[in-house]
Structure 1
């Protein structure tokens, strides 16, 4: 089977294709321009969002650094009053032992108040079971208490916000011999 090719039909088809292609091409050019404009807008939004996120990350890092750097300010201000009181006690030349003892007692109360405000809690575990996370046993001695019970505190321990700052140094019971 041989196809009939008529030059007039071919010309007519070519003309129709060209006529149809022109609006499609014009429509396509408009569509491409619209897509390029949308792409440019999205790219601009992306770059702005990226810059904003980078600034936010940088500001957050600065805030964390400042929080770490200056976290002690409040506690340090509380300790200044304690230091002032101790300096006054050392400068006292009156020789009145009772007045000096009273001043030291007030200074200790100032320090305890500063510790309380900073969430520093004293560990004095006499009578408690040995907790290796909070206590450091330095010796054991015979006692009526149950074995591994704290019978004496050699040095108090401290917690900061329920975290061990310094374990208590304790003597524990061995039980009866």
Structure 2
């Protein structure tokens, strides 16, 4: 049979065992907490890197757009010069075009118009096709409806040419659209 002294450890021995286990538990909790903080810091770093990359991409896109579309206001202003040149050429009567005294002048004005169109093309400006096309509200602005045998909604008159600068609308075409005759 066991004696009392053998069956229960003295209180002093219990205190020593508990004191020895307490630092191990505290150290384990502290390690887990530090691992959680490290994982959270890694996650925040990844988010920050992703945000920096997004900002860099946006800045690069903004710079590319600025380069591509920097001349937009200038191009819009020069289009009025092109319009006036086209109106001047279209207003010359056929009999005057045959007159030897003004043939050179007319040829020079036409050459100037062709060069202006070439400059537009080199800088990404393209004329919008309108005549005979269905009305596209993204490219054309209907000004009037014209009774016509053409399919309703088809452009039958162009009052002012429309232009694109690369993939953006610079100026819509001002057009007349066919409607069924009354």
Q: In which range does the TM-score fall when normalised by the shorter chain? A: 0.5 to 0.7
Distance 1:55 1:145 in 2: 59
Distance 2:110 2:164 in 1: 28
Farther off after superposition, 51-60 or 163-172: 51-60
Distance 2:176 2:21 in 1: 91
- Where does structure 2 lack aligned partners over 5 or more consecutive residues? 82-103
Is residue 65 of structure 2 the alignment partner of residue 60 of structure 1? no
2:143 to 119, 126, 138: 138
Superimposed CA distance per residue, residues 7-53 of structure 1 (whole angstroms, 9 cap, x where no aligned partner):
x74895252x7535634542341232133134224424533542453
* TM-score normalised according to structure 1 size: 0.59
Partner of 1:13: 8
Question: Do the aligned residues in 2 keep the contact of 1:156 with 1:167 (CA within 8 Å)?
Answer: yes
2:134 to 129, 132, 140: 129
SS of residue matched to 1:169: strand
Is residue 116 of structure 2 the alignment partner of residue 107 of structure 1? yes
SS of residue matched to 1:32: helix
Is residue 177 of structure 2 the alignment partner of residue 175 of structure 1? no
**Cα distance change on mapping 1:59 and 1:40 into 2, 3 Å:** same
Partner of 1:33: 27
Structural mapping, 1:88-107, within 5 Å:
97=105, 98-99=107-108, 101-107=110-116
- Where does structure 1 lack aligned partners over 5 or more consecutive residues? 1-7, 87-95
Distance 2:168 2:70 in 1: 20
> What root-mean-square deviation, in Å, do the aligned CA atoms of Structure 1 and Structure 2 show?
3.9
User: Displaced runs of 4+ in structure 1, greater than 6 A?
Assistant: none
